[in-house]
Structure 1
């Protein structure tokens, strides 16, 4: 695997965990201004998720890497993104663009993290759609563990 350097997130948490994943998925952007992207096409997305927190669980983990892989890779790999309920509202805020995919991944992960006793936070999701194009999503409000 090629080592990738990601944009850094400023936070005051003691621990920061990063998980890299690849997703093979198809999508289309249902808007006339999307040009050729209106047609179904696929990508091998490269995703990096950054989780931060102050409290480790009973296993000594901030979050188990496998949990993150199941949430993202397990849900989206080898699928057509438009077929997921997350992307079907009809609103441009839910079209499966790279920006929205990054935000939705953050939301899916944070919903799971909110159930954990240590309350870790998803502070960044990096999604590379092509070798020359990527998006970084950071929630505006990062919750505090306190």
Structure 2
């Protein structure tokens, strides 16, 4: 993977780590406005996951890099995203496997795991590149922000 510079996110934590990974997956967007993307097609997605926190775990890690790869690559690589009905839906627009929804889903999977750890770091950003010219950022709202 080429070294890249990603947009940064401001946070109050002492530690920040970033994990780059890629996965190949196919999808289709079941909306008339999606044009050609209504048809099944594939991408090599490039993701960068940013995790931050103040405490390290019993191994001296904020989170193990290999675990982040396993969570995402292990689940999505060489799959049809639409077939993952736990994460995506062909009936609800906010669950179509668009770049935005895939980025949010990566956040949800990572944060769910982090919530189970003793040091409880936070996933503060997911950068997801779908093509060489198109990417999405997902940043969760701060826990104390109200919608």
TM range (shorter): over 0.9
- Residue 19 of structure 2 corresponds to 19
TM-score by length of 1: 0.95
Give distance in 2, aligned partners of 1:89 and 1:11.
35
SS of match in other structure, 1:7: coil
Question: Offset of 1:9 from its aligned partner?
Answer: 0.6
| Contact 2:20 2:48 survives alignment (8 Å) | yes
Segments of structure 2 that go 5 or more residues without pairing to the other structure are none
Q: Distance in 2 between matches of 1:73 and 1:142?
A: 27
Give the paired residue count.
143
The equivalent residue for 1:108 is 109
In structure 2, distance between residues paired with 1:29 and 1:36: 9
Question: 2:52 matched to 1:52?
Answer: yes
The CA distance in 2 between the partners of 1:128 and 1:142, in whole Å, is 26
The CA distance in 2 between the partners of 1:118 and 1:89, in whole Å, is: 36
**What residue is the counterpart of 1:61 in the other structure?**
61
**RMSD of the TM alignment (CA)?**
1.1
1:87 is paired with a residue whose SS is: coil
Instruction: Indicate the residue corresponding to 1:6 in structure 2.
Output: 6
